[in-house]
A and B are shown apart, each in its own frame.
Chain A
Amino acid sequence: MKSKTADRIATGVFIAIAIIIISILVGLFSYILINGFKYISWDFLTTPSSNIRAGGGIRDQLFNSFYILLITMIIAIPLGIGGGIYMAEYAKPGKVTDIIRSCVEVLSSLPSIVIGMFGLLVFVNTTGWGYTILGGALALTVFNLPVIVRVSEDAILAVPRELKEASLALGITRWHTIKTVILPSAFPSILTGIILAAGRVFGEAAALLFTAGLSTPRLDYANWNPFSPQSPLNIFRPAETLAVHIWSVNTQGLIPDVEEVSNGSAAVLVISVLLFNLLARWIGSLITKKITATK
């Protein structure tokens, strides 16, 4: 009788927690979307921002956000998965490995503003690049690498040992086994980790303030030469991202339509993260189906 009551209470508590989580999420989403959605228009998405006049858009900021995300992922994914493979397959259990693992954990819990200051010192001043997309992407790599390393390590360790043994017992080398058996099996979990990391990159502002900067040069989207200062593809130009733009118009904006711009930008940011998530998952499941031959 008593344990039955306890069981009922536990069920109730967990349902209540689930309701709280869902209502926070729904509340937040609807607040951002209801306040911001009405400002989103084709015009808003395709005109450059203005520093003084009303009616500026977020074209460059939106592009910058995706571009920095892309560059960060190009750097962080190979390094992160490589680190995960090392930790799971090559590192000998012992003191050194434990130290590496705690370093990785500490790195992932560093406040992003500290990473921003570090980025300012190293990727902006020491290199002499000034505020650049590459500097921003490197700072974000520092910040996301630990997550990807950790997720890849866990995903690789979760692959059943039998699969690895099966491949090795057929006379296949360790590296080829990792490449063709272990990584494909670990792929769905690694992808989830990368999506989470990407969401963080997309919404990050503090680490980018001092690395990618608060301004964007006048961009010419017809200019595809990555070395031209006007080209959007140039990685050595400053780039204000959407999240940074929200922060900057709110704190130092001189435009009269601060609220419209920041609410609209917030809604675009949330929708972008959502779309990115869904797209990445959809592509991921297509890849998984292809490699596992399931329909």
Chain B
Amino acid sequence: MVTTFLEKESTDQILQSTVPFQMENILKVNNLEIFYGEKRAVNGISLDIEKNAITALIGPSGCGKSTFLRSINRMNDLIPEARAEGQILYEDLNILSEQIDVVALRKEIGMVFQKPNPFPKSIYENITHALKFSGIKKKSQLDEIVEESLIKAALWDEVKDRLHKSALSLSGGQQQRLCIARTIAMKPVIMLLDEPSSALDPISNAKVEELIIDLKKDYSIIIVTHNMQQASRISDKTAFFFKGDLIEYDSTEKIFTNPSVKKTEEYISGRFG
């Protein structure tokens, strides 16, 4: 235990010495409050999300983490009584502003949902659906993007011979990787993952986790998870939510080994939640 701990610290030191540690932020959240009607679901949280890192949002059910995640690409707009105050700054623009073109925003901030939700169309069309809408019509170009995104989502080898079969014929894990592939195809800047592997079996789960770590190179990822092991395995930073408050936000290592708030420690060690 002690030795592994030391090893980790020493690798961190190496990282610190080689890479300039000044991380760039992709999102800046200022005093964000989200309401459902009269009920306040998120109580004025502020945090910065790092670029090209994986940020995990953890906390018991109903703590506001999913609500926060869905506000980043304005999916809460679908809920008539939902309302947000404060700021989420992305490239110096407030995402929550009325003037934001939500359609354009969602092209840059993609989302993958808890339950795999492929369209009842072919595997190929699942990926080209949004591409065609955004104006890419050339067959050769579409083919290329489909292949590229399926390779990135580690699904190409499994489906390359049946691209024109129904996406619903895939297993749950494959469906979820297809959903990730179609999000990748839009070349987003940020990917929001809402418990992406909670509905999957352990083997599919491992594949999806591997994939997420791999995606960090190109994207900034925010992931909501109920699985503590998952958060500690894949994320760089972890935010712990409780009853709508952001209790603690720090490097994942710090949160899981030496949290500064007692509540965080209690939750991580499984004493509640």
- Give the B-binding residues of A (Cβ under 8 A): 92-93, 160, 162-173, 176, 180-181, 184-185, 291-295
Q: Is the CB of A169 within 8 A of B111?
A: yes
Chain B residues near A171 (CB-CB < 8 A): 103-108, 110, 130, 133-134, 186
Quick check: is B28 within 8 A (CB to CB) of the other chain?
A: no
The 11 sampled A-B contact pairs (Cβ below 8 Å) are A165-B111, A166-B117, A167-B129, A167-B130, A169-B75, A169-B111, A171-B104, A171-B107, A171-B110, A180-B133, A295-B165
Chain A residues near B183 (CB-CB < 8 A): 169-170
Q: Is the CB of B103 within 8 A of A173?
A: yes
Q: Is the CB of A163 within 8 A of B119?
A: yes
Quick check: is B73 within 8 A (CB to CB) of the other chain?
A: yes
Among B75, B118, B120, B130, point to the contact of A165 (Cβ < 8 A): B75
Quick check: is B217 within 8 A (CB to CB) of the other chain?
A: no
- The distance in angstroms between the C-alpha atoms of A229 and B115, with both chains bound, is 61
Chain A residues near B75 (CB-CB < 8 A): 165, 168-169
Give the interface centre of B105, B133, B134, B164 by most chain A CB atoms within 10 Å: B133
Quick check: is B80 within 8 A (CB to CB) of the other chain?
A: yes
Among A92, A93, A181, point to the contact of B119 (Cβ < 8 A): A181
Among B78, B105, B166, point to the contact of A293 (Cβ < 8 A): B166
- The distance in angstroms between the C-alpha atoms of A294 and B78, with both chains bound, is 30
Among B78, B119, B125, point to the contact of A166 (Cβ < 8 A): B119
- Chain A: minimal CB distance from B127 (Å): 10
Q: Is the CB of B182 within 8 A of A162?
A: no
Q: Is the CB of B111 within 8 A of A172?
A: no
- The distance in angstroms between the C-alpha atoms of A181 and B125, with both chains bound, is 11
Q: Is the CB of B120 within 8 A of A162?
A: no
- Chain B: minimal CB distance from A185 (Å): 6
- The distance in angstroms between the C-alpha atoms of A160 and B168, with both chains bound, is 14
Among A93, A165, A173, A180, point to the contact of B117 (Cβ < 8 A): A165
Chain B residues near A92 (CB-CB < 8 A): 80
Q: Is the CB of B120 within 8 A of A185?
A: yes
Q: Is the CB of A293 within 8 A of B103?
A: no
- The distance in angstroms between the C-alpha atoms of A20 and B230, with both chains bound, is 59
Q: A165-B113, A293-B166 are in contact. Are A172 and B130 (CB under 8 A)?
A: yes
Quick check: is B122 within 8 A (CB to CB) of the other chain?
A: yes
- The distance in angstroms between the C-alpha atoms of A166 and B115, with both chains bound, is 10
Q: Is the CB of B182 within 8 A of A170?
A: yes
- Chain B: minimal CB distance from A273 (Å): 30
- The distance in angstroms between the C-alpha atoms of A181 and B117, with both chains bound, is 12
Q: Is the CB of B121 within 8 A of A293?
A: yes
Q: Is the CB of B130 within 8 A of A184?
A: no
Q: Is the CB of A169 within 8 A of B106?
A: yes
Give the interface centre of A166, A167, A168, A173 by most chain B CB atoms within 10 Å: A166
Among A169, A172, A185, A291, point to the contact of B133 (Cβ < 8 A): A172
Among A164, A180, A181, A292, point to the contact of B166 (Cβ < 8 A): A292
Q: A92-B80, A293-B125 are in contact. Are A169 and B120 (CB under 8 A)?
A: no
Nearest-CB residue, chain A, relative to B131: A170
Quick check: is B179 within 8 A (CB to CB) of the other chain?
A: yes
Q: Is the CB of B186 within 8 A of A160?
A: no
Chain B residues near A167 (CB-CB < 8 A): 119, 129-130
Q: Is the CB of B165 within 8 A of A162?
A: no
- Chain B: minimal CB distance from A145 (Å): 27
- The distance in angstroms between the C-alpha atoms of A256 and B259, with both chains bound, is 99
Nearest-CB residue, chain B, relative to A177: B133
- Chain A: minimal CB distance from B145 (Å): 13
Q: Is the CB of A170 within 8 A of B186?
A: yes
Chain B residues near A293 (CB-CB < 8 A): 121-122, 125, 164-167
Chain B residues near A170 (CB-CB < 8 A): 106-107, 110, 129-130, 182-183, 186
Q: Is the CB of B80 within 8 A of A291?
A: no
Q: Is the CB of B119 within 8 A of A168?
A: no
Nearest-CB residue, chain A, relative to B165: A293
Chain A residues near B133 (CB-CB < 8 A): 171-173, 176, 180
